[in-house]
Chains A and B, each alone.
Chain A
Amino acid sequence: MKRILALALGATALTAAPAFAQDVTITNARLVLGDGGAPIEGGTVVVRGGSVVYAGPAGGAPASGTSVDAGGAWVTPGLFATVTTLGLADVSAVGETNDITAGDSPFSAALDASTAINPTSQHILVHRAAGITRAATTTMPSGSIFAGQGAIIDLDGDTNAVMQARAFQMINLGEGGADRAGGSRVAAYALLSAAMREAQALVGKAGIPETTEIGKDDEVLLSRFDAEALVPVVTGRQKLYVAVERAADIRAVLALKAQYPRLDMVLVGATEGWLVAREIAAAGVPVIANALNDLPETFEQLGATQSNAGRLAAAGVKVALNASTLRDPRRLQQAAGNLVALTRMPGASGMDWGKAFAAISSVPADISGMGGKAGVLKAGALGDVVMWDGDPLEVGSVPTRVFIGGVEQSLENHQTGLRDRYIDLDESDRPKAYDW
C-alpha cells in the first residue's frame, strides 16, 4: 500500500502542479468542506502551489495569489466519481471506441485500465464541466469474473489522466459473475478459489508466471498473467472491489475475509446491503452503494429500496455512491440530492445534506486511497475547487468555475459547441457550419 501511495503522490506531483497552477484565494463562499459537515457561510479557501493550504471560516488564513469573491456562491471540493468508465469509451455502442469490455480477450484480471485512458475524451470534458475532478475508472467484467484493474484518474485533460494505475481489482460475484464463470455462482467461487491459490503460489516470485491456465472450451477464464495480476490482491496491497447485490451473496463475500485475511475489500452495488448492514459494518468493509435502485430488476435485487444507502450509513457502514448504475456519473449530484429528499419521507432512510455530499466526494476518495487528498477541502488536499451556480445537490446546478490541482479548467466541450451554435436557428447569411 505504501508503495502504491508513493507512486500515486509522485504521479500527482507530475500532473497537478504544472506551471499553470495558480495561487488563489476564494472568499465569501458558501463553503462545503466535503467532510460530511454543514456548509460554512462566508468561508474562505486558499490554494497555493496546487494544494489547499486553508479552508474554513473567513479570517483563518492570509490571502494568497488571485482573489476571487464568490459572492455567496457554493464552493465545494471537486466531486469524486467512483466506479466509472470515464476515458475508456467515446461512444459505448460503437465497439471500436469502447475499451470497457473485452469479452474476446484471453485476459481478465491482468487487464489494466490505465493503459487506455483518453484524457481528452468528451466524457471526461463533459464530466469535468459537471464538477467531477477525480474518478475511479475501470474496465468491466466480460470474459471472466475479473474485470481487471481500475485506475484513479484526474479530469484535467492534460497529457496524463492517470494518478494511480492498478488501484484496485474488480470482480463480480453475483449473477453476472456466475454467468461469466460458466453458469453458476458455484462455478464463480470455484474459479475465485483457484485463482487465489494460483496467485498465492506466485507471491514473491519474479519472472514469467508459471501457473496453470484455466479455460473452458476455447475461452480462457484465468491465464497465468491473470493469476500474477492477483498477487497484490491476495497480499492486500491492492483493493478488491466486489460487485455483489444479494444479501446471501454479501454474507458469502464477507466470509472470504476469514479465508483470505489480507483481502482489502470494498463492496460495489450491495442492493440488499440493508438486510445485512450490521454484518457489513462489523466487518469494516466500505460499500459503494447503488443509490436509487428500488426495483427487483434481478432476483439478486428483490429487496431493492432507495433507503439502502441511508440504512447502511445508519448502521455505521462507510457509504459512497456508485456511479456505474447511474445513467452517467454526472448524475451523482442528483442521486445524492435524492438521498436528502428521503429524509423528509416517512419510513424512509436517507442522508443529511453534508453526508450525502460526502458520499460523492470525500468518502469515495477515501475508499480509493485518496483520503485527505481528494473530495475534501482541507490543508494538504489537492487544489480541486468547484464554484457552483446553485446548490450542488440540486438538479440542474452546474459549476461556474472548476480548479483541478490549482489549475482553472476550461468548461468547454462538444456539447457547449453545439449549444452555442444552436442558440438560434439563423442561417440567413451562412449555413450553421460557419458558426463556430
Chain B
Amino acid sequence: MLSHVKERARIGAFATLVSALALSACATTGSAGDTGKADMMDGKDKAFAATAAGEPVFPSTYKPFPNIATALKGATIYDGKGGTIENGVVFMAGGKIVAVGGPDTPIPADIAVFDGTGKFVTPGIIDIHSHLGDYPSPGVEAHSDGNEATSPTTPEVWAEHSVWPQDPGFSRALANGGITSLQILPGSANLMGGRSVTLKNIPARTVQGMKFPGAPYGFKMACGENPKRVYGGRGRAPSTRMGNFAVNRETWLGAIDYANDDKAKRDLGKETLVGVLKGDILVHNHCYRADEMALVMDMAKEMGYKVSAFHHAVEAYKIGDLLKENDVCSAIWADWYGFKMESYDGIMENAAFLQREGACVVIHSDDQDDIQRLNQEAAKAQKAGLRLGINIPDAAVIQWITYNAAKAMGIEDMTGSLEVGKMADVVLWNGNPLSVYSRPEKVWVDGALMYDALNPKTRPVSDFELGQPGEGDVK
C-alpha cells in the first residue's frame, strides 16, 4: 500500500476527474489495508490524477516497537474510566492490555514482572491540545509553523505538514508527563485553522512515523478575540465577534453547496469542512466565553455539525448544564486566568463545577511545559472542588487526562483506559500521580517500554540535541 501511495503522490494534481464527493467515510489518518483506485494512467485517454479525495494520504507508518509480555503487580490502578483497583495487576502482551484486575489476576510465569508496591498505574496520559512539532523548541521564527493565519479561514491546511518530529518537547512530555498520545492543533489566529493530527508520542524520523493509526482527524476553530484582532487589525473581516460568526456561517454554507454539487472541482478546504459535516472529522473549538460557546453550539445545529470539545473553555462553568445537554467536552486549564480579556473570569473551580453538572471535563496544556504536568494541573482542579465539598475521586480526575481526552479525540476505543484489548499505553508512577512529588517511572506505548527513569539510555534525545550541552541529561 505504501508504494502505491508514493506512486500516486508522484503522479500529479489534475484532480478534476475525480469526484470531489468521493469523500468516503474514511477521514482517518489511514492504516494498512486501505485500497486505492485503478491506475488512471492506463487506457487511451491519458489522464493525470491525484489520489481520490477521502482516500488515505500521508498515511501512518507507525508500528509498535518490540515489546515483551509484562505485568505490573501490587500498584494502585486508576483505570482511566473512573475505576480504582488497589494492589492490582495489569498484564500486557503483544502491545495490548491482556488483563486488568485484583491481586489474584492470573499471569503467565515466564514474563517480566514489575513490583508496583507503593506505586500507581494509569493509562498513558493524553493531551488533547498541543502544538509540539508545529511550534517546536527552539522557538525561533524559522520554526514558527503553527498557524497559516494569512486568511480568516484556512480549512485547507493540515497541522501534520508542519510537525517537526525532532522537537525535543515530545521527549519531555513522555518522560516527565507520561504523555503517550497527543493532538497537534493549528493555532487560533483564524476562525478555521485547519486539520489537526493525533500522534503517538513516539520518537520518529517522520511525522507519518508518529501518526496514530486509525485516529480521526480534528478540525480547529477559534472564537473570540484572536480572529477579530488579527484580521480587524489588517482592515478586513472579521473585526468583531459578529463578523466572526458571519464569516463562519458563509463558509459553512459554501461547504454545504460544495457537498451538494457533483460537478464541483476538488477543494481541499471544503473537503475538510464536508468531513466535519459528515461527522468524520471532529471539531475542536477554541472558545473562552460562555456566551460565545452557546452561540457556537447553535451555529453547529444550524449548519449540521457537532462540536467535539471547546478548548480553553475558561467560562465553561457558567454553562455546564448546556454543555452537558449538547454532549460537548470542555478542554480547560486548571489555573490560567486574567492574561486576556476573555480569560478574565477564569476560576480554579471550572472543572469541578462542570463535573457537578455531569459535563465532560478534559484538562489540556496548550503549552510545552504544562504538557509535562497535566497530572498536577488536574490535581489543582480536583482540590478546588474539594474545598467546596465537591469530592471528585482520584480515579475520576485521572479520567480527565486519559479517557475523556481520548473520547473527545475519537480514539477512546483504542486507548485512554486500561481495558482488555486496548493499546497497552501505560504509565507506572512512583507515587500518586495527583501529587506534585510523583513522576513517571516507566512509560509503555503499545506495550513497548519507551521510557524508564531508572535507565538513562531510555531518555530520548532528538537530533537537535546531539552534541549540544546537556545531551542525554536528565531533564
Q: Is the CB of A415 within 8 A of B321?
A: no
Q: Using a CB–CB distance below 8 Å, which chain B residues touch chain A? A: 137-140, 168-169, 172, 176, 225, 317-321, 335-341, 344-349, 353, 357, 368-370, 372-373, 376-377, 379-380, 382-384, 387-388, 430-431, 434-439, 453-454, 456, 464-465, 468-470, 473-475
> Which residue among A297, A304, A395 has the maximum number of chain B CB atoms within 10 Å of its CB?
A395
Which residue, of A275, A340, A419, has the highest number of chain B Cβ atoms within 10 A? A419
Once the chains bind, are A305 and B470 in contact (CB under 8 Å)?
yes
Cβ of A103 < 8 Å from any Cβ of B?
Answer: no
Q: How far is the CB of B373 from chain A (nearest CB, A)?
A: 8
The 6 lowest CB-CB distance pairs between A and B, nearest first, are: A396-B383, A303-B469, A337-B436, A93-B340, A303-B470, A294-B475
With A93-B340, A419-B347 known to touch, is A307 a contact of B473 (CB < 8 Å)?
Answer: yes
Give Cα A398–Cα B382 distance, bound, in whole angstroms.
Answer: 13
- B168→A296 contact, CB < 8 A: yes
With contacts A340-B436, A396-B384, A422-B353 known, is A295 near B137, CB below 8 A? yes
Question: B388: shortest Cβ distance to chain A, in Å?
Answer: 7
Contact of B430 among A328, A334, A344, A396 (CB under 8 A): A344
Q: How far is the CA of A304 from the CA of B464 in the complex (A)?
A: 13
Are B436 and A93 neighbours in the complex by a CB distance under 8 Å?
no
Complexed CA–CA distance, A297 and B379 (Å): 27
Whether A298 touches B436, Cβ cut-off 8 Å, given contacts A93-B339, A307-B474, A344-B430, is no
Measured between beta carbons, the chain A residues less than 8 angstroms from B225 are 93
CB interface residues, A 363-404, toward B, < 8 Å = 389-390, 393-398
CA distance A292 to B339 in the complex (A): 21
Which residues on the A side are within 8 Å of B347 (C-beta)? 415, 418-419, 422
Name A347's contact: one of B349, B430, B474 (CB within 8 Å). Answer: B474
How far is it, in angstroms, between the C-alpha of A302 and the C-alpha of B472 when the chains are bound?
12
* The residue from B172, B321, B454 contacting A346, defined by CB atoms under 8 A apart: B454
Residue contact A425 to B357, C-beta cutoff 8 Å:
yes
28 A-B residue contacts at CB 8 Å?
A: A92-B340, A122-B338, A292-B369, A293-B369, A294-B172, A295-B172, A296-B168, A296-B465, A299-B138, A302-B469, A303-B469, A305-B470, A305-B474, A327-B335, A337-B437, A346-B453, A348-B474, A394-B437, A395-B376, A395-B434, A396-B383, A414-B344, A415-B348, A418-B347, A419-B347, A419-B349, A422-B349, A423-B388
Q: When the two chains form their complex, are residues B340 and A341 in contact, meaning their CB atoms are under 8 A apart? A: no
A328-B335, A344-B431 given; 8 more Cβ-contact pairs under 8 Å: A91-B339, A93-B340, A94-B340, A303-B469, A306-B176, A331-B335, A425-B318, A425-B357
A292 vs B439: C-alpha distance when bound (angstroms): 14
Given contacts A327-B335, A327-B336, A395-B380, contact A341 B469 (CB under 8 A): no
Report the minimal beta-carbon distance from B354 to chain A, rounded to whole angstroms. Answer: 11
CB distance from A290 to the nearest CB of B (A): 10
A37 and B430 alpha carbons, distance in the complex (Å): 25
Decide: A330 and B335 in contact? CB cutoff 8 A. Answer: yes
Tell me the complex Cα distance, A425–B317, Å. Answer: 9
Question: For the complex, is A338 an interface residue (Cβ under 8 Å from B)?
Answer: yes
Within 8 A of B (CB), among A245-297: 247, 272, 275, 292-297
Residue of A nearest to B345 (CB): A418
CA distance A284 to B338 in the complex (A): 38
Q: Is the interface of B mostly helix, strand, loop or mixed?
A: loop
Contact A340 B341 (CB under 8 A): no
| Chain A residues, Cβ within 8 Å of B140 | 298-299
With a cutoff of 8 Å between Cβ atoms, the chain B residues found around residue A306 in the complex are 176, 474-475
CB within 8 Å for A425 and B320 given contacts A94-B340, A296-B137, A344-B430: yes
Q: Are A393 and B464 neighbours in the complex by a CB distance under 8 Å?
A: no
Q: Mark A301-314, 1 if CB is under 8 A from B, else 0.
A: 11111110000000
Evaluate whether A295 and B369 lie within 8 angstroms (CB atoms) in the complex, with A337-B437, A395-B376 already known: yes
Alpha-carbon distance between A106 and B146 when the two chains are bound, in angstroms: 35
Quote the shortest CB–CB distance from B82 to chain A (angstroms): 20
Q: Are B337 and A415 in contact (CB under 8 A)?
A: yes
- Asked if residues B383 and A345 are in contact (CB atoms below 8 Å), the reply is no
In angstroms, Cα B382 to Cα A414, docked, is 20
The chain A residue sitting closest to B385, CB to CB, is: A396
- Are A94 and B475 in contact, CB atoms less than 8 angstroms apart? no
Question: Is A123 positioned at the interface, with any CB of B under 8 Å from its CB?
Answer: yes
Task: Report whether A92 and B339 are in contact in the complex, using a CB–CB cutoff of 8 Å.
Answer: yes
User: In the bound complex, do residue A425 and residue B341 qualify as a contact, i.e. CB atoms below 8 Å apart?
Assistant: no
B172 CB → nearest A CB, Å: 6
Nearest A residue (CB) for B389 = A423
B427 to chain A, nearest CB (A): 15
Would you call B335 and A394 a contact (CB within 8 A)?
A: no
Cα(A344)–Cα(B387), bound, Å:
29
Contact between B469 and A334 (Cβ–Cβ < 8 Å)?
no
**8 Å CB contact of B437 from A305, A327, A341:** A341
Which of B346, B377, B438, B439 has the largest number of chain A CB atoms within 10 A? Answer: B439
Inter-chain contacts of A122 with B (CB < 8 A): 338
* Closest CB in chain A relative to B159 CB, distance in Å: 20
Asked if A344 and B439 sit within 8 Å, CB to CB, the answer is yes
Whether the Cβ atoms of B456 and A347 lie closer than 8 Å is: yes
Nearest-neighbour CB distance to chain A for B352, whole angstroms, equals: 10
- Compute how far the CA of A295 lies from the CA of B470 in the bound complex, rounded to whole angstroms: 10
Smallest CB gap from B340: residue in A = A93
With beta carbons under 8 angstroms apart, the residue of B348, B387, B468 that contacts A296 is: B468
